[in-house]
Amino acid sequence: MDSAVLQNPSDPEATYRAKARREMSTSGFRIIARVRNGVETIPSILRRRYHIDHMPVRGLIRMKQWFGFKIAALNFRKLSRYLDSLDSCAQMAAIE
């Protein structure tokens, strides 16, 4: 027999999971999930690419300074990529 047929329909956990799945499929939840994914990428990038967990300095002032340099590097890289994308879009418009 199929296991789905044998499940108890009055199981509160199954009801909760079904309700959660219905809510996750709404467009509002998808927008919130995208925002959350965007917010969670910044700490991940800082840890993986800029190694903020292992800074070779001691002291609060130096730590703040190094962290600020790493944030500035991230912002500079984002700005550079954005400006490069503007150049490629302008060139494509000029060709057409």
d(CA 1, CA 8): 14
Higher pLDDT, 14 or 47: 47
Which two structure tokens, joined as six digits, stand for 75?
Answer: 């912002």
> Per-residue pLDDT tens for 23-77?
877 888 888 888 888 788 888 999 999 889 888 899 999 999 999 999 999 999 9
The pTM assigned to this predicted structure is 0.56
> In angstroms, what is the C-alpha Rg of the chain?
24
Q: Is the pLDDT of residue 17 over 50?
A: yes
